[in-house]
Structure 1
Amino acid sequence: METMLDYINEEQETLENIIESFDVVQTNVKHVKHCLILATGSSYNACLSAKYYIEETAPVYVQIEEPFNFLHYGKIDPKIDLIIAVSQSGKSTSTIQAVEKLTQTRAIKTIALTSDVKSPITKVVDEVLDLNMGIETVGFVTKGYSATVLNLMLLGLRIAYQNESIDPVIVKRELAELKKAVSQINLVIEKTSEFWLENQEDLSAGSRFIMIGYGPNVGTAKEFETKFTETVRLPSQGFELEAYMHGPYLEANSAHSLFFIENDNVLNERSHALKTYLSEYVAACYTITTSATSEPKTLSLSIEIPEKISPLLLVIPFQYLAYQIAIGKGIDLNKRIFDDFDQILKSKI
């Protein structure tokens, strides 16, 4: 039986294969200017992580909505000319229903991004993009999350190229940057393993976990929240840096373990100031940074990576730590719980 850790260890090879098989003219996205993405759970978090790359690379505006609420209360902007339905399993009931409803009133091109090209969602869209990572059988998605982020970035590259905002030279350069980032995943896993061994006792004793990020890594923070909640099964939240400073910090106490993400950005100073202030009030402040440093409680990745693609690497430590902390707390992640949940609540077909 494959485990969550097995899939984490497959991420580098999987993402390298996705880049190698990339075709810039696959699927017609010419003239796309306003894109609506429908996704929930980890798929939603992946969209948040890829949004800034897409908008910075292509002349397109990206709106991300959780389909259930949008289905019942939302109103589609008449400027929307592409709907992307993201569902790794392809069985998300709310996403399928939202696509069906939104395309009843007017013709809008629809694309499904899924790992199962024969899943129910493929029957309600115009075109299907295979995540090209196989079927992930473990419910706590890791490889599929990273594959979703990368495929969305590559879709942004397609939009940019087909709308003639970038030329083949820039496409080649962008692919080289993505490939360089992906080639360092195993190194990130190795360094995270060392960090885990150094901090294992304190992390395993944690009872409240919070992560604070900014920019494209707000998506990483939200995926931290999802993954820790699913696996460690203790109160866990991910916040945007400034949002945390507008109220949630008042909850901070000696039971809290805080994680800060830092990459090459001027906002590092504000993040560092918050960490310094809170360090005397909480159990621990940990930092995951792309820079080279020897500060305590810091996972120093010592890598150069553009901020817009940094979520591809910065999510890896939290996937790994979620698994290890859960195992450290004696949680058997191979033992299924709430087996009848989807059947009774009908959240998936």
Structure 2
Amino acid sequence: MDEVSVLNYMYDQPRALKSAFDQREIFITPFIELFAKNNIKKVLFFGSGTSYNAAIIAAHYFKQIVGIDAVGYYPTVFKNYEKADWTNTLKKEEILFVGISQSGTSISTIDVMKKAKNDGYQTIVLTENLESEITNHTDKVAHLLCGKELTPPETRGYTATMLTLYIWAVEIAYFKNIYSETNYKQAISEIDDFVKNFDIVIKESSDWYERNKITIVNSDRIYVMGYGVDFGSVLEGMLKIGEMLRIPTIGYEIEEYSHGPTMAITNRQTLFMIGSDEIEWERCLQFREVFKKYTNRVHLITCKETQIDDRDIQFTIHPNKYLCPIMYTIPFQFVAAKGAKDIGIDTNINPFVEPLAHLEE
């Protein structure tokens, strides 16, 4: 890349995802080894910020694809109020703690992983920085193949994390004979096609933002809605817009948005709706038509077939619903990063300088 910027990291994502996929054995091997040596019955995913959003989707992957109990947690909430097995029926070696920290310096994630290892649980961290503090407190380290991002907001790191977590789920499903040889080869082929065509996702997201930028950056408030596997995408969209564009942004599970927050709708609010290939799809379309009665700033983000207009983005590639969260994140990155640039915010600078969340590198 010619210069350090969030936008350049975003445009680099097609290359980075293909590279990570091509080198996937690097992060697959340590993860498979834990399942091979231990009868893992529960997986706990931990992360803060972008890593938490990925953890929520990872838990969904492991429940729906692998059929194993899985939960995504904020590390501090878990440390203070939860425990690994409230039923007291699982052995410690049957529970896997997975820390996600691109920088490896997240204080809360380091703390929970350190305690888990000391308490005798199985532990692994997914991190880009193999020399970071968190690597000293886990049994295994998996390399997050995204390359270092030198800007405060993480974009390329998030999509690389999501690709890694999905590949982990596919590999474990195959290892446990949940996926047949045919299912496994089909899944790998789908991932291959997806990363090879990710430049289309970047272009279509950029074009969509340019069509709608005037109203988006002049919103009083932004809502992000989704459901199913893409609830984590809702959280990531909310985070990215909040940290870069810095317009008040709130995320909701789509049905829950209708239980009160709809009373606040005005025509200066922007609503983003992620249309996932889940059971709620028809309900999503129903909500969309109703919301348009109150604001014309309603944007559907999907790859499913339906009637659209210039406010919507209907991707021309059609990955499976578990890969879609990687794709559906990109429009929010453009809203956040390009929107910030358009209104004069320098996303290379973090205006909040107190080191509360991370160890100093």
The amino acid across from 1:187 in the alignment is I
Q: Tell me if the contact between 1:208 and 1:234 (Cα under 8 Å) persists in the aligned partners.
A: yes
The aligned residue for residue 288 of structure 2 is: 275
The aligned residue for residue 69 of structure 1 is: 77
Q: Tell me if the contact between 1:291 and 1:302 (Cα under 8 Å) persists in the aligned partners.
A: no
C-alpha separation between the residues in 2 aligned to 1:250 and 1:258? 14
Count of residue pairs brought into register by the alignment:
345
Instruction: Give, in angstroms, the shift of residue 294 of structure 1.
Output: 4.3
Instruction: Give, in angstroms, the shift of residue 17 of structure 1.
Output: 1.4
Q: Say whether 1:134 aligns with 2:147.
A: yes
Deviates more, 1:83-92 or 1:165-174: 165-174
Q: Tell me if the contact between 1:182 and 1:312 (Cα under 8 Å) persists in the aligned partners.
A: no
- Mark the CA change 1:159 to 1:142 in structure 2 (over 3 Å): closer, same or farther: same
CA RMSD between the two structures = 1.8
Q: 1:159 aligns with which of 169, 172, 175?
A: 172
The aligned residue for residue 326 of structure 2 is: 312
For residue 63 of structure 1, give the secondary structure of its aligned residue in structure 2: strand
Q: Tell me if the contact between 1:25 and 1:158 (Cα under 8 Å) persists in the aligned partners.
A: no
- Using structure 2 for the length normalisation, give the TM-score: 0.90
The amino acid across from 2:10 in the alignment is I
Q: 1:208 aligns with which of 221, 224, 240?
A: 221
The aligned residue for residue 51 of structure 1 is: 59
Q: 2:115 aligns with which of 75, 81, 101?
A: 101
The aligned residue for residue 180 of structure 1 is: 193
The aligned residue for residue 235 of structure 2 is: 222
C-alpha separation between the residues in 2 aligned to 1:161 and 1:274? 38
Q: 1:288 aligns with which of 275, 294, 301?
A: 301
The amino acid across from 1:297 in the alignment is R
What is the correspondence of 1:183-198 to structure 2 with a 5 Å cutoff? 183-198=196-211
Instruction: Give, in angstroms, the shift of residue 348 of structure 1.
Output: 3.2
The aligned residue for residue 333 of structure 1 is: 347
Q: 2:14 aligns with which of 12, 15, 40?
A: 12
C-alpha separation between the residues in 1 aligned to 2:97 and 2:15? 29
Q: Tell me if the contact between 1:76 and 1:102 (Cα under 8 Å) persists in the aligned partners.
A: no
- Mark the CA change 1:294 to 1:282 in structure 2 (over 3 Å): closer, same or farther: closer
Q: 2:124 aligns with which of 100, 108, 111?
A: 111
Structure 1, unmatched stretches of 5+, are none
C-alpha separation between the residues in 2 aligned to 1:313 and 1:288? 10
Deviates more, 1:68-77 or 1:218-227: 68-77
The amino acid across from 1:76 in the alignment is A
The amino acid across from 2:14 in the alignment is Q
C-alpha separation between the residues in 2 aligned to 1:39 and 1:222? 13
The amino acid across from 1:230 in the alignment is E
Q: Deviations over 1:192-248 (max 9, x none)?
A: 222222222212212211111111111111001100010011100121111212222
The aligned residue for residue 251 of structure 2 is: 238
Between the two proteins, what is the percent identity of the paired residues?
28
Q: Deviations over 1:280-314 (max 9, x none)?
A: 22351111120355424111212222112210111
Q: Deviations over 1:109-131 (max 9, x none)?
A: 10000010110000000000001
- Using structure 1 for the length normalisation, give the TM-score: 0.93
Q: Tell me if the contact between 1:225 and 1:237 (Cα under 8 Å) persists in the aligned partners.
A: yes
- Mark the CA change 1:251 to 1:294 in structure 2 (over 3 Å): closer, same or farther: closer
Deviates more, 1:13-22 or 1:23-32: 23-32
For residue 313 of structure 2, give the secondary structure of its aligned residue in structure 1: strand
- Mark the CA change 1:48 to 1:237 in structure 2 (over 3 Å): closer, same or farther: same
For residue 315 of structure 1, give the secondary structure of its aligned residue in structure 2: helix
Q: Deviations over 1:9-57 (max 9, x none)?
A: 1111111111112235443123322101111110011122333333232
Q: Tell me if the contact between 2:152 and 2:348 (Cα under 8 Å) persists in the aligned partners.
A: no
The aligned residue for residue 134 of structure 2 is: 121
The aligned residue for residue 298 of structure 1 is: 312
The amino acid across from 2:252 in the alignment is F
The amino acid across from 2:199 in the alignment is N
Q: Deviations over 1:63-86 (max 9, x none)?
A: 111001211222221435111011
Instruction: Give, in angstroms, the shift of residue 333 of structure 1.
Output: 1.5
For residue 265 of structure 1, give the secondary structure of its aligned residue in structure 2: coil
Q: 1:348 aligns with which of 344, 350, 359?
A: 359
